A and B are shown apart, each in its own frame.
Chain A
Amino acid sequence: MIGVVDYRAGNAPSVMFALSRLGIDATLVRTPTEVEAVDRIILPGVGAAAATIASLAESDLVGVLRTRVIEADTPFLGICIGLQVIFDRSDEGPTDTLGWVPGVVTRFPATDRVPQIGWNRVEFSRPHPLTVGLPADPYCYFVNSFYAAPADPSAVLGTTSYSVDFCSMVARGNIAATQFHAEKSGEVGLRILANFATWDGREC
């Protein structure tokens, strides 16, 4: 069963609609007990990093997510803000974030229109179970003013270009995350979600 973390500023419904269309069992999780009960976790998100962190803290979910994802190696997929908050710190706020993956989140330079809104190309650096069955360098839907810079380049699975080349997909052990909205990237995104539903949390 996939648990989709539901918090006030999140967009859990869109993710649930996508999983439902794929015939994948999923449930919204809002409390530590509910997070304990699922065997895969999706952290969706829209909006601001500080609001997301505040919202997770308010629901008392920060500790239990850490236990499940970092200690128990539960397969995890972050989406959009759900990618940004797994790093140490975001300039948006600024705020300290979950600190699961070393790196910081910073604002796009003003050379292009900010936020980036629309479809952009994702180039994958290596094969990964979550990208099986995708066309080469697919276009995915982005909405972001900030981007993550992982300290360790091996955590970067996908790269996209907007003013700068930035990390559009993260993969490190059982932790994966997309800066693009997988639930809104058409059949490409649905394929990533379907792959996540059977992923054992390993690289190959």
Chain B
Amino acid sequence: MLTKRLIACFDVIDGRVTKAQNFQDNIDVAPAAELAQRLYADQIDEIVFYDILASAQQRVIDLDTVRAVAEHVFVPFTVGGGIRDLDDMFTVLKAGAEKISIDSMAVRNPDIIRAGAEAFGNQCIVLSTQVKQVGVSESLPSGYEVFIDGARTATGMDAVEWVKRGADLGAGEIVVNSIDGDGTAAGYDLAITRAVADAVTVPVIASGGAGNVDHIAAGLTEGGASAAIISSILYSPRLDRNVGVRELKAGLAERKVHMRPWIEIAPT
């Protein structure tokens, strides 16, 4: 049986992992390659890396850091931030990423989803969405609106309509990133996570707000998510206590969430 996944998320600036709150006020945590190695040793299921300034600075993603992480991490590795076209995707994949995460660029040019899926397979294209609860209206039937550019720009697009379109265009996974939840450690937005999971047949990833093991368990059960993105709980200096992957998985197993169990294996 397929397990649920824990995905560690890195917001990277100049090769270092930082931690934001509501998409603002990033504080420094650690070098990305070092933190990646530590989490790999702790048997994290997956890592996602966002070069959070690449898009604003209109530059290519930080390939040195992508490579430095890929050299030490032998679990799946997704990279996003500033991906503009197929050439950018190709470059990032050749630097050692398995999957490409696209967000603002996909809103501006939805065809990039189709083109990426055609060139590299649906499994390679992760559509990440920044969503905010704004209340139900005629143009926003789900009550959630899609934002872009680090949650700064409203698009007027309905979150559920957008992810359905993204999946139809070929996205292999959908990340539901709650702007209100980001960095708050107050729990995922279960309502929109569930709405998205019910609307598409590809795997859905909960993101934004996990502060304890109950939040993660809720995202993976009530929220209907296949995977949970976590970051604060693992390493945010803003929290009194960080929790390791092994302890989180033990807690999830106690809550009957099926996770990849800890393995003892002699190092190769």
> A: which residues have CB within 8 A of B?
8-9, 11, 13-14, 17-18, 20-22, 46-48, 51, 110, 112-121, 133-135, 138-139, 141-145, 161-162, 181, 183-191, 194
Smallest beta-carbon distance A44→chain B, Å: 11
Bound Cα distance A54, B94 (Å)? 19
Chain B interface size range:
35 or more
Q: Is B226 an interface residue (CB 8 A)?
A: yes
B90-110 interface with A by 8 A CB criterion: 90, 93-96, 98
CB contact under 8 A between A184 and B172, given known A17-B70, A161-B1, A194-B268: no
Give the distance to chain A from B174, nearest Cβ to Cβ, in Å: 11
As a 0/1 sequence over residues 139 to 182 of chain B, the CB contacts with chain A under 8 angstroms (1 = contact) are: 00000000000000000000000000000000011000000000
Q: Using Cβ atoms and an 8 Å threshold, which residues of chain B touch A18?
A: 74
**Which 10 A-B residue pairings sit nearest by Cβ, starting from the closest?**
A47-B121, A119-B260, A143-B123, A139-B260, A194-B268, A187-B265, A119-B3, A190-B268, A120-B2, A13-B96
A135 to B122, CA, bound (A): 31
Tell me the smallest distance from the CB of B249 to a CB of chain A, in Å: 11
A119 touches B98 (CB 8 A): no
Which A residues lie within 8 Å of B95 (CB)? Answer: 13
Q: Is B31 an interface residue (CB 8 A)?
A: no
Given contacts A9-B120, A117-B173, 15 further A-B contacts (CB under 8 A): A14-B98, A17-B96, A21-B71, A46-B123, A47-B119, A112-B2, A118-B4, A118-B203, A119-B5, A133-B265, A135-B263, A139-B3, A144-B123, A186-B40, A187-B74
Chain A residues near B43 (CB-CB < 8 A) = 186
A-B contact count (CB 8 A): 123
With the chains together, A53 CA to B172 CA distance in Å?
A: 22
Which B residues are in CB contact (< 8 Å) with A144? 123
Q: Does B201 contact A (CB under 8 A)?
A: yes
Contact indicator B96/A117 (Cβ below 8 Å): no
Q: A17-B96, A138-B263, A186-B43 are in contact. Are A117 and B123 (CB under 8 A)?
A: yes
Residues of A within 8 A of B2 (CB): 112, 116, 118-120, 142, 162
Cβ of B56 < 8 Å from any Cβ of A? no
> Complex formed: what's the CA distance from A103 to B245 in Å?
40
9 A-B pairs with CB atoms under 8 Å apart are A17-B71, A46-B124, A47-B124, A114-B202, A115-B202, A116-B2, A117-B173, A139-B261, A184-B74
What residues on A are CB-neighbors of B119 within 8 Å?
Answer: 9, 47
Chain B residue nearest to A18 (CB atoms) is B74
Q: Does B76 contact A (CB under 8 A)?
A: yes
B45, CB-defined interface residue at 8 Å: yes
CA A178 – CA B41 in complex, angstroms? 23
Q: How far, in angstroms, from A115 to B263 measured CA to CA in the complex?
A: 26
For the complex, give the distance between the alpha carbons of A142 and B261 in Å: 16
* In the bound complex, CA of A185 to CA of B5 (Å): 13
Chain B residues 67-97 with CB under 8 Å of chain A are 70-72, 74-77, 90, 93-96
B263 touches A47 (CB 8 A): no
**Contact A115:B264 (CB < 8 A) given known A13-B96, A17-B70:** no
Q: Which residues of A contact B77 (CB under 8 A)?
A: 184
B267 at the interface (CB under 8 A from A): yes
- Please determine whether A114 and B94 come into contact, CB atoms closer than 8 angstroms: no
Indicate which residue in B4, B94, B123, B267 contacts A115 across the interface (CB closer than 8 Å). B123
A14 CB contact (under 8 Å) in B40, B70, B121, B202: B70
Contact at B1–A121, with CB atoms within 8 Å? yes
Q: Give A162 to B2 CA distance when docked, in angstroms.
A: 7
Cα of A119 to Cα of B264 in the assembled complex, Å: 16
Q: Measured between C-beta atoms, what is the minimum distance from A55 to chain B in Å? A: 11
Q: Does B268 lie within 8 Å of A187, measured CB to CB?
A: yes
* Given A47-B120, A112-B2, also A117-B226 (CB < 8 A): yes
